[in-house]
Each structure stands twice: as C-alpha cells, then as structure tokens.
Amino acid sequence: MRRAAAGIAAMAALFVSVASTDAEAHPHVWIEINATLVLDGNGAVTAVSTDWTFDEFYSAWAIDGLDTNKNGTYEPEELKVLAIDNVTNLKAYSYFTYARTGETDVTFGDVTEYSMSYSGTQLTLHMTLPFTAAIDARMTPLSVAIYDPTFYIAMQFPEGAKAGVSGTVPPGCESAIVLPDATASGVMVPDNMMTLPEYRNYGARFAEKIEMRCKSSS
C-alpha cells in the first residue's frame, strides 16, 4: 500500500488531534539531523541546509509501495512524491526549524531545494531553508534549533557531530552545536499526557541547536 501521502509532519499533527489513552508513549519517530549554515560572499548567513535521516521503522513504512518499477531500489524519481509531501506538510510547522538572532525570531522563506534518498534501510530528507533576509552574525549571534514541539518525533544530531558551515566565514566568527541541559535519550512520555497544556511545547526542552557567534556580537 502506498504511504507517500502522509508526511512526517502530518503524522505528528494527526496524532496530537486523536491522542489515545493506551500505554503508548512519545516519541514515536527518531530522526538524526545534520545542519549546515550557508553563507554568502559577504559572510552573511542566507540559509540552513539540513539532512534528516529517519529511523528504520518509519523509513520502511514510508517507502512501502514506492518501488514502482519493481527493480528493488528506491530511485530519486520514485521518492520525489514523498519529498514533496514532506516539504509541503512541514511548511505549516516552520519545517520544525526555529531561528533567532538574540531574542528575535527569524523567519524562513519556502524551501528552495529538497530531495529524498534511501540508503541501506533508512530514508534521508534533504532541505535547504532560505532566510527571508540574510543575517549578519557579527551584529547578533544566530541560533537555529531543530525539533518537533509535540515530541512525537525525537530529533538529535549524531554524537560528536560538528556544526556545518558553507561559504565565507567572517574573521572572529565560529559555529558550534549546542546541546540542551536535558537529553531526550531514554525519555518516554505517555501519549495521553501530550495534549495537556504543559506538554504542548515539550520538545523544546530537548532542542539541539547550531549557533554562530562572532567576537563583536558575543
């Protein structure tokens, strides 16, 4: 049965609206994330390029029925509809990506580049999210957090990951991955608790960030 019509964001949203009262617990999906800050020739950050590698169980569910030519592989054209569905659904949720300069929220435009690939037993979603205006981290530090507020999905950088940067980095500027005080590893929350007000942004406490700071903005 073809599953492409239900993207990852749609799954999370559907769950929030029909939360069960049984013994199930959040999170239900695990994603390994990688992120790269994209800089222009003047050293301003113009976009964030991300890779999300889904766990084996979600990957198997999502690709079911997509090998339309029955050759045993999942080619870019076969995964295209799944990529479109995911990106379309994620737009309503800010692509689960939240940026700030200091205390000010920063907005993204529509995803400009996206695709999905399948390797081994896992799907990876590749996206480039452009900022609506270029950001000069020399003026104010930039922070980009990637997480699902509902905690239906646990999103983490791989252990030991480094912050990615592409382009011209201004002198005195550095990027780093910043981990939260709390860790999502081993955390399980009963599903019937997740609709309570105090849990509506529960995923934020486990949000991992990529930051860029410059000596003049720190």
Q: What span, in angstroms and rounded, lies between the C-alpha atoms of 186 and 111?
A: 32
Six token digits for residue 215: 């000596």
Residues spanned by the domain of 135: 8-19+30-214
50-99 tens-digit pLDDT: 999 999 999 998 888 888 888 888 888 889 989 999 999 999 999 999 99
Residue 131 forms part of a structural domain: yes
Query: Quick one: three-class SS letters along 25-56?
Result: EECCEEEEEEEEEEECCCCCEEEEEEEEEECH
Does residue 85 fall inside a structural domain? yes
The more confident residue out of 110 and 9 is: 110
Q: What is the pLDDT of residues 171-215, one digit of tens each?
A: 999 999 999 876 655 566 666 666 766 667 777 888 999 999 998
In a domain, 191, yes or no: yes
Query: CATH number, domain at 111?
Result: 2.70.170
Q: How do residues 34-60 score in pLDDT, each as one tens digit?
A: 999 999 999 999 999 999 999 999 999
Indicate whether 24 belongs to any domain.
Answer: no
Residue bearing tokens 């530090």: 141
- Determine contact, residues 144/99, Cβ cutoff 8 Å: yes
Q: Which residues contact 18 (CB under 8 A, 6 or more apart)?
A: none
Give the predicted TM-score (pTM) of the model: 0.83
**H helix runs in the chain, sequence order:** 8-17, 56-63, 76-91
How many structural domains compose the chain? Answer: 1
